[in-house]
A = this chain, B = another copy of it.
Amino acid sequence: MNKKQQQSEDTKRRIAEAAKALIMQKGYKSTSIEEIVEATGSSKGNIYYHFKSKEGLFLYLIEEWDLEWEQKWSSKEHQYTTITDKLYGIADQLVFDDLNHPFSKALDEFLNSSESMSEDVEQRITQIIRNRLEFNQKLLQQGIDQGEFENHNVEHLSIIFESLIAGLSQMSQMAKLDNVLALYHSAIRVLLYGIAKKPGMNNGR
């Protein structure tokens, strides 16, 4: 690879990194190109040289984010044996590696800001969401097949799981909580065992 190509890739990376950090902090609409310029030391024109628009930059970040998540997970998944363990593992990855579930909030904001966005961008994003739900669904189905979970409606379960996850990151930000990991684990435990009293059963911890 050329020195020039290398430099070009580097600055594109720098822009993407800064944009991601800012959008995670402040959301999509509230993050301006000008702020990305200040954060990178690059120029406005240069951002538009590497990305065709703000929307395009955001889509780039979403796709990267989605990809990284899958890669990280598939490199960790084998550590866990049961599906139950995997659920906890997902919680761990969300809290630790992924401080970027703030990002899903930005995604939501972007989607629901209404006002026309390019057809392709919208399609690409909804597809990513459906992928995520499909991922959950497969995992939960495995749990059922292997006798770990009750035979529930997996479509609903996958949405409920994703909702819980998304809601948790939202709430833990809003209420400015610490010990987020413990909260996530509590949530998984509730998801698994519920809160209802089960007379004569001991599901301690």
A residues whose Cβ falls under 8 Å from a Cβ of B: 25-27, 29-30, 84, 102, 105, 108-109, 111-115, 126, 129-130, 133, 140, 143, 147-150, 152-153, 156-157, 159-160, 162-168, 170-175, 177, 182-183, 186-187, 190-198, 201, 203
Contacts and interface: CB of A to CB of B under 8 A. Distances in A.
Contacts of A133: 175
A143 B195 contact: yes
B29 A114 contact: no
Which 4 A-B residue pairings sit nearest by Cβ, starting from the closest?
A167-B167, A163-B167, A194-B194, A193-B194
Contacts of A165: 167
Contacts of A163: 164, 167-168, 170-171, 187
Contacts of A115: 26, 30
A148 to B, nearest CB: 6
A194 B107 CA distance: 29
21 contacts: A26-B115, A27-B29, A27-B113, A102-B112, A111-B174, A126-B175, A129-B175, A133-B175, A148-B197, A149-B197, A150-B195, A150-B203, A152-B195, A156-B182, A157-B195, A159-B177, A160-B187, A162-B167, A163-B171, A166-B167, A193-B194
A177 B173 CA distance: 26
Contacts of A167: 162-168, 170
B84 A196 contact: yes
